[in-house]
Structure 1
């Protein structure tokens, strides 16, 4: 027998969801986007946002190795210069990438000897805990996903496992994005994804200057416009730089 409908349960969409359901929703969205001609940067942004929603991370970043094996930021939860610079210090990201295993520092004040410059810069930026997991693709590591928290011991083993799941999906998405030619290899084509980020950085600078906005707000305006029009961030970035679209009105709001 079907129970009677309770009008009080008509709309619970505004209630916070348990972390497990939030994670499942994020994974479903990510897998769904992989089935179409997706935007690789937007996919990574969504995975990083999921990381901060379902783990103790305050901020997160995804870094991709270039042809020299140096890590470059592809996406981050915050576009501030301080966070982008911090992610590229010699620290957990590089260790996870090179070792192809997860690394963590529950308390950067106590574990600072591992990465002294990173620990000092992280503390100055308000982060006391960090972890990083590799972007794994078969037997290769192509980058790292790094989570940062403002309080010590905020990130545990469960956070590492969730971070690794998100990183694995990001690696699959990046591989699908760059392997356009039949005989291409991941290492040869990774600059394609990094060039996407370069174009977006240029557009952020143009939009920030035109609208007197900080870089983080400029990036959010671009993402909102991309979602509203159904276009790729890369294409919108090119239009901004070339002056084909003007989002200053949006930036001023």
Structure 2
């Protein structure tokens, strides 16, 4: 059935919205997305498939309620066809009232849906400003004509989740850059210390000391940082 109580919808959306800035744990937010969809739309089941940039057009199955519906998402991923694949590629919701009638187009998916006693599906792209984050799929065991209100609510939930995914990915990228800069700084400090040690030991300039360090690294097929660390921390003599 469609949303039965506007107050319930407001409550669920408010709960979901409060969660967004409170956590950077992607599994938590996507689990809440599925539970929110169940609360307000009352489908027979829900799944989420993510589309990380590192996986290109191939989806990564995240989770499902109930869990056995993950088979349907894995089937689409493995055969690269099905309503979720279409929704992801075209960036628009795909609704199917009778999955069995699409047996010629999606034979593996239709057969598997029949085994799971699933009749209908609505696949909603999770997107923000043209960025495709994945697909939210709603399932019904009875034939269901998905209404405009169903799709509007599902699209709203999917869009909120997509915004969070974009934020999580941005934070993760920033953390990686920060960690890389920190490692580079630490490496530079250690190398400078090693140059000072070698310059003092050989009565030479820092630049000449660095050439000695680099030559030693090449001969032993190790990094300059490894040699510098050995000099500073282990008393390596070169």
Scaled by the length of structure 1, the TM-score of the pair is 0.60
Distance 1:18-1:101 versus aligned 2 partners, 3 A rule: closer
CA shift at 1:131, angstroms? 1.1
Distance in structure 2 (CA, Å) of the matches to 1:112 and 1:161? 28
Contact 2:72/2:109 (8 A) holds in 1? yes
Aligned match of 2:12: 26
Contact 2:49/2:136 (8 A) holds in 1? yes
Distance in structure 2 (CA, Å) of the matches to 1:142 and 1:106? 25
Aligned match of 2:23: 37
Distance in structure 1 (CA, Å) of the matches to 2:5 and 2:167? 28
2:111 aligned to which of 110, 120, 127: 120
SS in 2 for 1:104: strand
Distance in structure 2 (CA, Å) of the matches to 1:155 and 1:161? 10
Distance 1:98-1:58 versus aligned 2 partners, 3 A rule: same
Mark the runs of 5 or more structure 2 residues left unpaired by the alignment: 177-238
Distance in structure 1 (CA, Å) of the matches to 2:66 and 2:13? 21
Name which one, 1 or 2, has greater alpha-carbon Rg. 2
Scaled by the length of structure 2, the TM-score of the pair is 0.64
Contact 1:57/1:154 (8 A) holds in 2? no
Mark the runs of 5 or more structure 1 residues left unpaired by the alignment: 1-16, 185-253
Distance in structure 1 (CA, Å) of the matches to 2:158 and 2:13? 11
Distance 1:69-1:183 versus aligned 2 partners, 3 A rule: farther
Deviations along 1:159-188, one digit per CA (max 9) or x if unpaired, are 22211111101101111212113498xxxx
Contact 2:41/2:150 (8 A) holds in 1? yes
Compare relative contact order (CA 8 Å, sep 6+) and give the higher one, 1 or 2: 1
Distance in structure 2 (CA, Å) of the matches to 1:163 and 1:113? 28
Deviations along 1:116-168, one digit per CA (max 9) or x if unpaired, are 21111011101000110111121122211111100012533322221111110
Contact 2:63/2:70 (8 A) holds in 1? no
CA shift at 1:38, angstroms? 3.9
Aligned match of 2:65: 77
The number of residues matched between the two structures is 166
Q: Identify the structure with the greater helix proportion.
A: 2
Deviations along 1:12-71, one digit per CA (max 9) or x if unpaired, are xxxxx9432222212111211122234321221112112122224110111111323211
Aligned match of 1:177: 168
- TM-align CA RMSD: 2.1
Contact 1:60/1:76 (8 A) holds in 2? yes
